[in-house]
Amino acid sequence: MPGAVLALTHLVPGEDIGGGNPLKRGFVKRDYLWSFILVTSLFFLWGFAYGLLDVLNKHFQNVLHITKLQSTGLQVAYFGIGYFAYSPVAGEVLKRRGYKTAIIMGLCLYSLGAILFWPVAKYSVNTKNPHAIFGGFVVCTAVIACGLATLEVAANSYVSVMPPRGFANFRLQFSQSFNGVASFSGPLIASKYFFSGENANNLNNVQWVYLAVAGMGVAIALAFVFTKLPEVSEADLQAQAEAIAHQNSLDGNGHVTALEPFYKQYRAITGFVAQFLYVGAQVTIGSFFLNYSYSNANIPDARGSQLLSYGLITFTVARFIGTALLSYISAPLMLAVYAAVCTVLAVLIGSLRGMPGVVCLIIIMFFESIMYPVIFVLGTSGAGRHTRRASALLVMGVAGGAVFPPIQGAIADKFSTRTSYYLVIPCFVYICGWALWVWNKDGRQLRAGPGTAVPADAESQNTEKLAQVEVLSEKAGEFEERDDKL
């Protein structure tokens, strides 16, 4: 796609121009191109790790003879310890030390956790204490998740705030698409190396897969060590947020919300709830896919793993389609429509028997595709000096993946796996309502607009307001000092 490459590297005149078609206008400035490519590779890393997580759930049930509820310990460690507990730590490291340090720290934790899978899998051979072995895997998963949480806090924020910021939604959606590319490779590997032949009853191949994952993490960490990563200062973010507020009246009353304390950043806080519910729904849909396909349609695990990979391929293709649609359609409006469709599909998944239910389970992954990046950008836009903390808060929302699987596991053990899928319905209802609230707050635009960017002709139209930005930027520093003292 030569045209896409040219659009990617096109140097857009001026700072932070938004609006128009990002493929024609250019959604990454030339001096940020290598950094953008390198940071986008991080999305591939956690997509691969997450793709393996869903199939390990069922593999551990088969080999270690644990219940569905016990198997969700992996999700609790991954999303609860890694994302919920560690994201605030990652956010503070990012705020105080910058993007490069946070990313390298995340990659080190990621690689360490992957390496630890090797001795645990090795000692699982002929073990007399399978629950202890499973506990070891839970600890390894928690370490990996701490690394991934750090990478998500830094990478999502960096891709969102790099110029031109008016295309933040499109750019993050583009990067997140590579997350999907990696996620479907996990189940494909599992169908061949975890559930086939003699590997169906042992964990030998788990160690080799994760050693390869560790090697990949180390290689990317070295690339970051030798790369000069352009930083985006908080003063710049604050000045831009204030300029947008004066230009577009972000709170509807001409009030500069970015100057308020963090606990009054309602857009970020309600966005955290939306992210919490979305990830909880996404994880429950994926984690029990093999259980659903087996109990509801009598599909063997090897075949079910292949179907899961097809669902994740659907998710990935939908990410790229969504990226294209977001260049034309308003992001909050598109999010609301997708959430409404997911609500209907969730009802069908919980109601239908046999293969039709499995088909709906695959289709719902198509409409989940845009949700995480769009919620992230909508929740952090206009936060100014609070952008990095808002990013950490939105990533903490991933902790929904620790809360919902145990609830679904308990429902599945008590009633049925099919019935447990009703759990995700209220999640998508809230997301739909939140998206409509943001859409109304942003002026009810039908087409994709400049988003959070200052209009290209703002300087010629209103030089006085742009002069005020410099004064407000100084105020940002004063507020930052006050925050640190408090």
Nearest to 240, CA basis, from 485, 18, 441, 10? 18
Using CA atoms, how far residue 119 sits from 12, 90, 125, 187, 286, in Å, is: 51, 27, 11, 23, 27
User: In the predicted model, is pLDDT for residue 174 greater than 80?
Assistant: no
Give the separation between CA 222 and CA 302, rounded to whole angstroms: 36
pLDDT of residue 166: 65
Q: At 14, is the secondary structure helix, strand, or coil?
A: coil
Q: Are 75 and 208 within 8 A, CB to CB?
A: no
Using CA atoms, how far residue 2 sits from 7, 16, 201, 358, in Å, is: 9, 24, 47, 38
pTM for the model stands at: 0.65
pLDDT one-digit tens code per residue, 130-168: 778 888 888 988 998 899 889 888 887 787 777 766 676
pLDDT of residue 9: 33
Q: Are 339 and 281 within 8 A, CB to CB?
A: no
Nearest to 288, CA basis, from 75, 57, 60, 80? 57
Residue bearing tokens 């139209």:
461
Q: Output the six-digit token pair for 252.
A: 């509807």
Using CA atoms, how far residue 372 sits from 146, 206, 281, in Å, is: 19, 28, 11
* Least confident range of 90-104, 135-149, 162-176, 418-432: 162-176
* Least confident range of 32-36, 253-257, 396-400, 464-468: 464-468
* Between 132 and 49, residue with greater pLDDT: 132
pLDDT of residue 456: 34
pLDDT of residue 8: 37
User: In the predicted model, is pLDDT for residue 119 greater than 90?
Assistant: no
Using CA atoms, how far residue 379 sits from 52, 152, 383, in Å, is: 28, 15, 9
* Between 277 and 313, residue with greater pLDDT: 277
Using CA atoms, how far residue 193 sits from 105, 196, 199, 243, in Å, is: 31, 6, 6, 54
Give the separation between CA 477 and CA 450, rounded to whole angstroms: 27
- CATH 1.10.357.10 for domain 25-447+457-476: no
* Between 194 and 183, residue with greater pLDDT: 183
User: In the predicted model, is pLDDT for residue 283 greater than 90?
Assistant: no
pLDDT of residue 107: 92
pLDDT of residue 331: 87
Check residue 424 and report its DSSP letter: G
pLDDT one-digit tens code per residue, 338-349: 999 999 999 999
Per-position DSSP letters for 139-203, written without gaps between them:
HHHHHHHHHHHHHHHHHHHHHHHSSSGGGHHHHHHHHHHHHHHHHTHHHHHHHHHTSSGGGGG--
Give the separation between CA 94 and CA 388, rounded to whole angstroms: 7
